[in-house]
Amino acid sequence: MWVVTDESVARQVLTDPRIAKDTALAPQSWRDGGDLEPTAGQRPSLTTLDGPAHARLRTAHAPLLSRRRLAADADRIAATARGLLRKEAAAGTVVDLAADFTTRYPLTVILDLVGVHKELLDDAASACRGMVSSDPAARGAAFDALNAVTAGAVHGGHDGIGSALRKELRDEYSDEQIGYFLFGLVFAGQLTTDAALGFLLAHALDPGFGLADADRDRIDALWSGCCGNTRRPRSRCGASPPPRSSWAASSSRPERRSSSTSSASTTRAGSTRRT
């Protein structure tokens, strides 16, 4: 098993046709452990498909997650963070920001972008915490809970990424499958932002940085130094993956609807293991 940290090497790995994401190609012993994401046949998604099928999904997602589109929401996203922090401060008690804010803040933003009603925030937060449980049964229950949250955004939520993907892909994928695309966006977005915020908070609260009484410009400068301009987000502020694949043990695994994805699992000679 290898962990790739160099950007140029990572690009080579991701474009090498001998390496695939479909867990159907993994050794049986890995799949028997129950810690791998479902196969592309069970859950087609950006994280399981390769080749033309993957490219099709990227094409559908790209305009919905472009820098320009997200930059338009930058002020609203920042206001969300300040609102959550003011609410914590108003309580007048000691607050563990790493235990709650770093989960709740990214989820508030991501769920809104996806189109999930804000009333489901607590359910989503609880599910995300359960996804990294050491108990397989708890992970399975959390998987189904978060999948239920995101499924509602496909046709029952407010306008957002969910409704836009359905409009683009409804002739190729079922609503349940599109809901799983949103599941991936929500969980991956929460997981990586959670850890990135942890590092940011550690810097902000370190007396050596002098940020305890800093104004907005000083805080924004710190964020820019870590991750680039706040209006042009980069991927360098990502986090390490969880200790195991967190998509395992779902009790409901629909069959693939689109025949266009069927070649992905047969044109790759190797497989990577998600840990």
Say what the pLDDT of residue 212 is.
59
Work out the average pLDDT over 229-241. 36
Domains defined along the chain, listed by start: 53-237 (1.10.630.10)
Q: Give tens-digit pLDDT for 50-102.
A: 989 999 999 999 999 998 888 888 888 889 988 988 988 888 888 888 878 88
Question: Which distant-in-sequence residues (6+ apart) come within 8 Å of 256 by Cβ?
Answer: 40, 41, 42, 44, 177, 262
Cβ atoms 39, 274 nearer than 8 A: no
pTM above 0.85, yes or no: no
User: 94 is written with which tokens?
Assistant: 């000691």
User: 49 is written with which tokens?
Assistant: 């498909």
Q: Give tens-digit pLDDT for 148-198.
A: 999 988 877 788 999 999 999 999 999 999 999 999 999 998 988 888 888
Supply the mean pLDDT for the chain.
77
Q: Give tens-digit pLDDT for 119-138.
A: 999 999 999 999 888 888 89
